[in-house]
Amino acid sequence: MSSPTELPRAYVPVGRSSVEARAQFITRTYNHLMGSIVLFTLLEVWLFTSGLAEPIAAAMMSSSWLLVLGGFMLVTWLATHAAQTSESKPAQYAALFAVVLAYALLAEPVDPAVEAERLRFLLKDLQVEVFPEGISRGFAVPQLKILVIQENEIFGRKKRIPRSLAAAKTQVIDSFVDLAPGDFVVHLHYGIGLFQGIERIRAAGHERDYISLAYDGGEKVFLPIEQVNLIQRYAGSDGHAPRLDKLGGVTWERLPIDPRPGPRSTDEIVDATELAPGVLEASPRTRTAEGAVFAESHMSRVLGEPTLLVDVGLGTERVAAGLAEVVPDTGLVVFVDVGGDVLGHGTEPGLASPLCDAVMLAAATLLQRRGRRVLAAVFGPCCDGELTPEELLGQVARLAAEGGVIGVDAITSDMAAELERAVHEVPTEASAQAVRCARGEIGTATIRAGRRTVPLSPLGATTIYFDADRAVNGVARLARLVLEAADLAHAQELLAAAGVRTELEYELERSPQ
């Protein structure tokens, strides 16, 4: 008879078994894993050859992904529970089959045929052919007048990975205390850099510790200390110091103009007239005390008349109140966003600057609720390289279904000429792509020193007008999150709590001020 502390033979943990028993367990485990992979492959082949893959994928893509993922989680939980509680081998194998089948069905939306159909729909107005073939990049044959564009060259989904990552030898570190100033490190996204120490940086009313990394050309990255898992110690064995990676130019178009992270408050701006709290009238001479010139100052020179500057740091309610003082009761206020990231959901891989857009759209809604005439607009859809056409048009379609889209206007040749004149004077890349679209260019372009890809098409030569209040109540989730933000710091906290990375965080990583 077993003692109370002993376990029956059948339930002895693997770790307490003999070496031979452990070896047999590991062998059986990997045999089952290999069998699952083979079964998954056979299921995929059968789904594709039987013609079931496309309708299954279309049904899943047309329904809520929350329901799809919820169903997948439920199946896997039930299967795991059955495998752990049942002593019947047929029941356990049935549970394993259910999990493999769930994975096979979940993989259907990446079917190349479905992706090809989606591209055909998006490009239906262009004289192009779409083929579901596997190529790494596009190519051209001028003699035959053939241009082949790979999908990632349209939507910009590939991340630039530093070449050094492929060859660099690294050692895992547990925390920043394992590093000393002067150590070479490898960052997951930026490559080989030089650890310079820990710096405490204050911005938007908060202080935070950052890991300071130096790169080639005097550029720096400031990494929040809790993201130390993104770096490892460089462990080259050749005895020579490695070459530092380049970051590829500026990170965000406003940072090289004004090195201070975040917006400037009205008391930091000179040669401007305050019209209301947080609202200034800008002239060509308007600038910061350090000499940074605003885009609105350049536009004032181009237009030959004053422009408005709004301090988004005051928060949504005070921005709306300031604009209400300035705009006549009968006036129309149009809030314009270049590219359309203002309609982003927050989960898009390319979304880079959601904070300012969310605050301003929320302020537009509050101004509209005060009884003022307000319009919101997306100028040059996708021309900032943040949302893909698929992502933006999906949001616009949902907004249209809710009665929120007011109209679409095209950039005429006269408007393009005027915009071209402004682009020569104002530091902007996104608006320049809208001009190229209006001139009839087709293809792709890169901005932000090659880090963002912009699709050039007739879509970029339009302006989409929509109702701000209906957008915030519907598809504009980020603006809804910050609707009651007391100030920019509060809005930043609200978006961070929702898992959304903002331009303020990115600037803080790159600027020591």
pLDDT exceeds 80 at position 210: no
pLDDT (mean) for 486-498: 90
- The pLDDT of residue 244: 58
> Which of residues 246 and 369 earns the better pLDDT score?
369
Neighbours of 135 (CB within 10 A): 11
> Which of residues 119 and 259 earns the better pLDDT score?
119
Confidence of residue 129 (pLDDT cuts 50, 70, 90): confident
- The pLDDT of residue 40: 85
pLDDT exceeds 80 at position 126: no
pLDDT exceeds 50 at position 240: yes
- The pLDDT of residue 74: 85
- The pLDDT of residue 112: 60
Average pLDDT, the chain: 78
- The pLDDT of residue 23: 76
The 10s digit of each residue's pLDDT in 392-415 is 999 999 999 999 999 998 988 888
The label of the residue with tokens 């109370």 reads: 4
Show the tokens assigned to 108.
């259907």
pLDDT exceeds 70 at position 98: yes
> Which of residues 123 and 180 earns the better pLDDT score?
180
Q: With contact defined as beta carbons under 8 Å apart, do 411 and 461 qualify? A: yes
Strand ranges for 135-203 from DSSP E: 139-141, 146-148, 170-171, 184-187, 191-203
C-alpha span between 99 and 445 (Å, rounded): 43
* CA nearest to 81, candidates 89, 67, 92, 97: 92
Is the Cα dihedral 130, 131, 133, 139 positive or negative?
Answer: negative
Q: With contact defined as beta carbons under 8 Å apart, do 80 and 92 qualify? A: no
pLDDT (mean) for 264-289: 84
pLDDT (mean) for 131-157: 65
- The pLDDT of residue 207: 67
pLDDT (mean) for 282-293: 82
C-alpha span between 13 and 90 (Å, rounded): 23
pLDDT exceeds 50 at position 203: no
Run of H or E residues at 234: strand 231-234
* CA nearest to 345, candidates 390, 312, 297, 303: 390
Q: With contact defined as beta carbons under 8 Å apart, do 468 and 374 qualify? A: yes
214: helix, strand or coil: strand
Confidence of residue 128 (pLDDT cuts 50, 70, 90): confident
Instruction: Pick the most confident of 10-24, 172-186, 337-351.
Output: 337-351
- The pLDDT of residue 7: 42
> Which of residues 119 and 24 earns the better pLDDT score?
24
Confidence of residue 252 (pLDDT cuts 50, 70, 90): very low
Q: What is the DSSP letter of 197?
A: E
CA distances from 64 to 99, 226, 388 (A): 21, 33, 19
C-alpha span between 60 and 94 (Å, rounded): 24
pLDDT (mean) for 369-384: 92
Q: What is the DSSP letter of 460?
A: G
- The pLDDT of residue 280: 86
CB neighbours of 388 closer than 8 A, spacing ≥ 6? Answer: 154, 155, 156, 157, 348, 350, 382, 455
- The pLDDT of residue 187: 74
Q: Which residues does residue 398 pair with via DSSP β-bridges, in sequence order? A: none
The label of the residue with tokens 């049935």 reads: 94
Show the tokens assigned to 168.
């660099």
pLDDT (mean) for 291-320: 84
CATH architecture of 164-234: Beta Barrel (2.40)
Confidence of residue 176 (pLDDT cuts 50, 70, 90): low
CA distances from 232 to 216, 228, 252 (A): 18, 8, 26
pLDDT (mean) for 209-225: 66
C-alpha span between 90 and 474 (Å, rounded): 48
C-alpha span between 351 and 353 (Å, rounded): 6
pLDDT exceeds 50 at position 246: no
Domains of the chain: which residue ranges? 15-110, 112-148, 164-234, 331-510
DSSP 390-443: HHHHHHHHHHHHTT-EEEEEE--HHHHHHHHHHHHHS--SHHHHHHHHHTT--E
C-alpha span between 434 and 462 (Å, rounded): 8
- The pLDDT of residue 397: 95
Confidence of residue 31 (pLDDT cuts 50, 70, 90): confident
- The pLDDT of residue 483: 94
